[in-house]
Structure 1
């Protein structure tokens, strides 16, 4: 290239210009919470890509190891992907984890109603196991680390 030669300015690359396969591959590495809160809201095209059942099935199986039998998760995994609303199932599990976290914080905060809160956590069965195991392996820098373990 000669010195002083003018270069034509390029338009900034847009995510929309990427092939669908590349965007879908990126979505597998994007945290599902970021997909729900931001990515799928960027455009109709990205919304369509970010709501693929196969992607949400992956997020369900990757984000949660233990499933309460009432979900029939193993049966759903073995069936056709399009037979189930995987995104809805993921959201249900995230909501249950939020509820468990709220109950768990209440258990740690006060003795009042502690048994009732324990009972509510127990009724969530295996859906609570992932959250409770995370609490067992919580970082030592957390203020109430011993109570959580």
Structure 2
């Protein structure tokens, strides 16, 4: 699958974590087991215990593949949903979302590069429920701790990878 962007998943994840404020929120990549009924590319838990899920797509084909999957991204724990897509395909993605999601359950974030080659996200539109909290979707303290633990576990596997690549 050819990418429509020069940015790696890791670069996009870091840009999104900076954009959403990793100092103010708990932000964890690739979360599935034990918390959700599907894998989320990026989960953001705000200070009040509500989750935002971001599906990161690097190509038009990758974006379209999401609509052929058996699972959906409907999960009782996720309050807000976004797709993050390359700037070069944002218009096609917006049109597709308007076709398959007329209620605008999904928000859309574009990302592109600056003259220094850094990745910068920008919100194109918010999900229709972006100004409302559904109290039933707030994570329990146990679930909040589980997400924080998953994030902390990622730190150590990344450090191990850095060490092994440095040898």
Common topology (TM > 0.5): no
Tell me which of the two structures has the higher relative contact order, counting C-alpha pairs closer than 8 angstroms and 6 or more residues apart.
2
Query: What TM-score, normalized to structure 2?
Result: 0.25
- Judging by fraction of residues, say which structure has more strand: 2
Structure with higher Rg: it is 1
Structure having the higher helix fraction is 1
